[in-house]
Amino acid sequence: MEVVQLQGRFIDFISSLFREGFLDDQFTQLQQLQDESNPEFVMEVVSLFFEDSERLLNELTSTLEQQIVDFKKVDAHVHQLKGSSASIGAQRVKNVCVAFRSFCEAGDREGCLRCLQQVKHEYSLVKNKLETVFKLEQQIVQAGGSIP
């Protein structure tokens, strides 16, 4: 496929992500921070985010499975997840975290479990989307073009 076409696809895809609320301005900032001295910056940070989130989601699952739920621990994890998703601009994940925290404060286990499901869902969605973004970037570069 031609470089121009690939670039077009890339732009369309990214725009849709913004439109659908998967990503927000923060992601744009990330992209702007990527330059010659940090060529892989976005990918690095996003990979860190994936690692971190998966760990947090596992912890959340096991904590909420306990007989007696330690809501403080849950809150701490959600807090961290909210922070990191906000840092990379994963808007929908962040929004679910906000709701999640209010259930934590209320000590509502059912609510927390529902939120956990939702967070996992949103996370896997945004992960998919971002991986597609990186793949498109790679294709452009391989075709000899530059990322718009």
Partner 1 sequence: MVRAIAGSSRRRRRQRNFDSNFPKGMRVMAVDDDLVCLKFLEILLLHCGYAVTATQYPCLALNLLRQNSDAYDLVIIDVQMPDMDGFQLLESIVVEMDIPVIMLSIHGDTKSVTKCIEHGACDYMVKPARFEELKLIWKHVVKRSMTETTFEHPLATAALPLGLGDGSSQASGNDHPDQGKGKGNELPTSVSDEGSSLVKKARVTWSSDLHAVFVRAVNTVGLDRAGPKRILEMMGVPGLSRQNVASHLQKYRRALRLYGPGFFNIVQGDAGAGASGGADTSGVKAKPQRTMALALTRPVPDNGRSTEDLRVAGFPNNQTAAPVSQTPMFSLPMSNQNALVQKRPSTSLGSQQTIRQISSPSYPASIDLTGPQATLDYQNQQSFVSALDQINDFIRNTSQNLLPSSIPPVPTFASGPSTGCTTGFVTDANSSLVQHGNQQDQSTTPPVSMMSSKQDVQWGSGAYTKTGPSSGAQNNEATLNMDNHAVAPLHGTSYAESAIYLSEPSIADGTFLFDDDNEGDDLHAMLRQFQNK
| Of 39 and 107, CB closest to partner 1 | 39
In the block, tokens 């369309």 appear at: 12
Integer CA distances (angstroms), 1 to 26, 131, 140, 144, in order: 31, 20, 9, 11
Distance in Å, CB of 105 to partner 1, minimum: 13
Restricted to residues 16-75, the positions that interact with partner 1 (CB under 8 A) are 26, 29-30, 33, 36-38, 40-41, 44-45, 48-49, 51-52, 55
The residues near 33 (Cβ < 8 Å, ≥ 6 apart) are 41, 42
| Of 37 and 110, CB closest to partner 1 | 37
Distance in Å, CB of 88 to partner 1, minimum: 6
Distance in Å, CB of 5 to partner 1, minimum: 30
Restricted to residues 89-148, the positions that interact with partner 1 (CB under 8 A) are none
Q: Which of 58, 116, 54, 45 is nearest to 86 (CA)?
A: 45
Integer CA distances (angstroms), 9 to 17, 34, 89, 116, 138, in order: 12, 21, 21, 33, 13
Distance in Å, CB of 123 to partner 1, minimum: 13
Q: Which of 129, 119, 98 is nearest to 19 (CA)?
A: 129
> Residue numbers of the site for partner 1 (CB under 8 A)?
26, 29-30, 33, 36-38, 40-41, 44-45, 48-49, 51-52, 55, 76, 79-80, 82-84, 86-88
